[in-house]
Structure 1
Amino acid sequence: MNDSGGSRLALLRFLERVQERDLARTRRWIVDEERREAERRVGEERRPPVPEWLIERGLDRSNIVAVHTGECWDPGKRVKTATRAQAIEAPRHQVPACTKCRPDRALGIEV
């Protein structure tokens, strides 16, 4: 390879341009990631709190199918938030407690 002064300098200038573009791209990635992280934090702050109790209704929405804790992993699709009093009252009316989250134990009621 012929190492003339001009071609070596030209190669170094080329390398500099490539590295500047790489650095600019990396900085864009950082800005994008910071924006996503900020959006994620705002989303978490705005997320409503997890309800303590849930009441699952049947297809006709008039009958209650089950009582769940707010952290139940299988609450069904037709649930509404409930107060502790409603969650306590439901098993007294023969509404079953969820067998997965066991709200009866959390409420101190053995069914």
Structure 2
Amino acid sequence: MTDLPPDLVRLRTLEMWLVLSLDRVRERIAELERREREQRVGEARRPPTPAFTVETGIGADRPPLYVHVGGCHMAGQRVHAVSRGAAAQAVADGVEACSHCRADTELGVA
């Protein structure tokens, strides 16, 4: 006893359906593998997270508002990477350190 159709016409139809389905599965696998490769390449090319950033305000003069530890989730979109010395100088000059990442504590000036 078999679960396959008994006649050749239906077997050929089933074969065609399986071939088409297998092609779709293989295309999807290739697409996902391509995405994974692109993601790995993107991660490898991503620049390292800076140690400290300064968030600036809006406007022509763009005054510094906050000093953040690099990668702080509270940093806005207007951030610029700075050196440890520049971050410490900014805090010393009165730029507020982020209360979430505690950049001043990380700098040892709090």
Q: SS state of the match for residue 7, structure 2?
A: helix
> 1:79 aligns to what?
79
**Structure 2 CA distance for aligned equivalents of residues 32 and 18 of structure 1:** 21
Within a 5 Å distance, the mapping from 1:65-76 to structure 2 comes to 65-76=65-76
Amino acid at match of 1:34: E
Amino acid at match of 2:68: H
Among all aligned residue pairs of Structure 1 and Structure 2, give the percentage whose two residues are the same amino acid: 41
| 1:38 matches 2:32 | no
Deviation at 1:108, TM superposition (A): 1.9
5+ long unaligned stretches in structure 2: 1-5
> 1:3 aligns to what?
none
**Structure 2 CA distance for aligned equivalents of residues 57 and 12 of structure 1:** 69
Amino acid at match of 1:58: G
Q: TM-score, normalised by structure 1?
A: 0.85
> 1:4 aligns to what?
none
> 1:20 aligns to what?
19
Aligned length: 104
> How big is the alpha-carbon RMSD for the aligned residues of Structure 1 and Structure 2?
1.5
Deviation at 1:45, TM superposition (A): 1.1
Q: SS state of the match for residue 90, structure 2?
A: helix
